[in-house]
Amino acid sequence: MKTILLPLESGNGLQSMLETAWLAATAFGSTIQGIYIRRALPGIVVADIGGYAAAAPDLVESFEAEDRERGASA
């Protein structure tokens, strides 16, 4: 069994991408995993093997704003 990694992003092609992945997964006995794609990150995230991470303040604020927007639209 194989896994299909499906890049997910808002847009017109999302429905057809999901349908195509589902057809392929059904035909080959695969599973589908999605990963959200975000274009043009406004900052940098740095992580090390110990699990510590640092992010530019603008990036953190951007993630928090997106989280609030998703919460408001849900």
Question: Which pTM does this prediction carry?
Answer: 0.50
Residue 50 in this model has a pLDDT that exceeds 90: no
Paired residues of 32 in beta bridges? 4
What residue spans define the domains of the chain? 1-37, 41-74
Of 43 and 29, the structure prediction assigns the larger pLDDT to 29
In the prediction, which pLDDT does 66 show?
86
Cα 34 off chain centre by? 7
Is residue 62 within a helix (H) or strand (E), and if so which, with residue range?
helix 57-73
Per-residue pLDDT tens digits for 4-39? 999 888 777 888 999 999 999 999 999 999 988 776
Residue 1 in this model has a pLDDT that exceeds 70: no
